[in-house]
């Protein structure tokens, strides 16, 4: 299993939907304001959809991308907006143990 830590560094809630490419299994999480959630995923490829849940959020409030996680690895993913103070908002989850 891989460990994914989703860190919400913004002032809005996020919804994250992760779907296994291999099995089609899907899981949904809501990440509260300034909180973090840890999830375990089987190693493999995933389709990800992250949506900012805020009043007045425009059509660009949802981002979709794919990611590959390696079994036994740990990843940290910062959820933020352009106003969150960090410029890395567009980066996918990072492997906190180095490259798989």
Sorted by where each begins, the domain ranges of the chain are 2-71
Report the C-alpha gap between 85 and 59 in whole angstroms: 22
Q: What is the reported pLDDT for 2?
A: 96
Name the class of domain 2-71. mainly beta
Per-residue confidence in pLDDT tens, the chain, 100 aa: 999 999 999 888 999 999 999 999 999 999 999 999 999 999 999 999 999 997 766 667 889 999 999 999 999 999 987 654 444 444 556 565 554 4
pTM: 0.77
Count CB-CB contacts under 10 A for residue 16.
Answer: 20
Beta strand extents in 1-100 (DSSP E only): 2-8, 13-20, 26-31, 36-41, 44-53, 62-69, 74-79, 94-95
In whole angstroms, how far apart are CA 28 and each of 40, 48, 96? 13, 10, 23
Q: What is the pLDDT of residue 68?
A: 96
């Amino acid at each position: 299993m891989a460990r994914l830590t989703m860190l919400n560094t913004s002032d809005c809630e996020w919804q994250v939907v992760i779907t296994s490419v291999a099995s089609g299994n899907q899981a949904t999480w809501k990440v509260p304001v300034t909180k973090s959630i840890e999830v375990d995923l089987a190693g493999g490829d995933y389709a990800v959809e992250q949506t900012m849940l805020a009043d007045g959020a425009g059509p660009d409030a949802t981002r979709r991308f794919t990611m590959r996680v390696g079994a036994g690895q740990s990843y940290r993913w910062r959820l933020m907006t352009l106003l969150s103070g960090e410029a890395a908002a567009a980066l996918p989850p990072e492997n906190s143990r180095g490259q798989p």
